[in-house]
Structure 1
């Protein structure tokens, strides 16, 4: 059996300390700590990417413990070497079954380039990001501690993932709060998921779409070039072209939903 990949060298000390602090707060409640997102898909780029982590506990932690966890992991109490940390805590009873809900106990965003957030209310915002993240985690979650991803996180139903992708594309089409290159490459990832039922790294998905869709090749190639830059140096992509591309992606999601019966 092949060994799971190691996190990038720039993050190993940080992730080790994150796991240690999480274990100190959660104690015997801690079931699993998983790297998800770009780390899981092999697309982490230092200085540009966030660190995405999913924590599974059993039983649910009380609110004071969740607040203590947020406090000990927040930047700069634990300095984040990446653009930011996006950490979500779930109870194992929730992640063991497919769901279209957000369902988290704690959603922590922190870091040098990420607006701070520590929510314990899963109704605090849209659910679609969490559905997508759990789908990625089930496919490719990188275990940092405890049980493997597929043992603790059920794959959301394809209909739920497609509905989440609809909402994701709609948010990216609005554009607020998202870099243009990330909007385009997230769209590429959504389009490739619709074709294949699997999650690809953003850059690989961009290469696939650039090769197969000549009308969008220039835009996607420019987005890939921009994605290699630090966030502060991201390129400005033509807004009308980005909107047209995301409208095309929305069409691919709708086609996949019809084929699935969603």
Structure 2
């Protein structure tokens, strides 16, 4: 298969040169071991908001790489050495053997967070991180991942099983319920995405999910509307939402996810 980058129009204009450079540097470090690079998250779901969204990237290599190679990859991608135009880059590397199997584990070789508004993280040990982030992202990658280089993500990243996905969603809702490190608007919109997944079995962008939940749940409509308005603002100017209302909403979300897990 000829390995080519994604068509330029399929990537937000603000991210095009940056993501091409991410691919270029990944190829330079990983060489022939590089199997696939894909955009996930808001880019893949068609709802990237410049000044608000991270850019999420999943990388698959053909075998576990030496620690030195993974360290070199993290180094060449770290902001500001490679300036990130989004609020941050969340990049995860998997080996092809792990990525090809449905799993409820984190399972990564490298987890890199970097960027102007994202707390830095470089981890080579998946035991250091809650698994649910990676389970959800692999599901999005399998279903919706936007190819940037190499094999399509659907061909190399397995869909996690339903039970593992629902376990991951429950953990995600608990995490957002704690509020630590999460903006109120994102907590609400993430909850909406979880509810809509339980209802439909499909991933939707957070804002689309929020509108769908607001349309069916009148009592939460004012809170969701406030979250949507806040989400239109830069992170630094996000609106503080009523804490009690957010907790009540997330408790309701947890109940909906629990019901789905029990079916």
Task: Give the TM-score, by structure 1 length.
Answer: 0.97
Q: For residue 43 of structure 2, what is the aligned residue in structure 1?
A: 39
Query: 1 CA distance for matches of 2:66 and 2:201?
Result: 36
**Deviation (angstroms), 1:228:** 0.4
**Over the residues paired in the alignment, what is the CA RMSD in angstroms?**
0.9
- Which of residues 65, 68, 71 is equivalent to 2:69? 65
Query: 2 CA distance for matches of 1:137 and 1:59?
Result: 19
Q: For residue 215 of structure 2, what is the aligned residue in structure 1?
A: 211
Q: For residue 191 of structure 2, what is the aligned residue in structure 1?
A: 187
- Which of residues 64, 76, 81 is equivalent to 1:77? 81
**Deviation (angstroms), 1:146:** 0.4
Deviation digits for residues 172-213 of structure 1 (CA, Å, limit 9, x no counterpart): 001010000000000000000000111000000000011000
Classify the secondary structure of the residue corresponding to 2:181. coil
Q: For residue 29 of structure 1, what is the aligned residue in structure 2?
A: 33
Classify the secondary structure of the residue corresponding to 2:126. coil
Tell me whether 1:221 sits opposite 2:236 in the alignment: no
- Which of residues 141, 161, 166 is equivalent to 2:145? 141
Q: For residue 3 of structure 2, what is the aligned residue in structure 1?
A: none
**Deviation (angstroms), 1:120:** 0.1
Query: 1 CA distance for matches of 2:63 and 2:134?
Result: 20
- Which of residues 117, 128, 135 is equivalent to 1:131? 135
Deviation digits for residues 70-104 of structure 1 (CA, Å, limit 9, x no counterpart): 00000011000000000000000001010000000
What aligned pairs does 1:230-249 form with structure 2 within 5 A after superposition? Answer: 230-249=234-253
- Which of residues 193, 199, 205 is equivalent to 1:201? 205
Runs of 4+ residues deviating >6 angstroms: none
Task: Give the TM-score, by structure 2 length.
Answer: 0.97
Tell me whether 1:176 sits opposite 2:180 in the alignment: yes
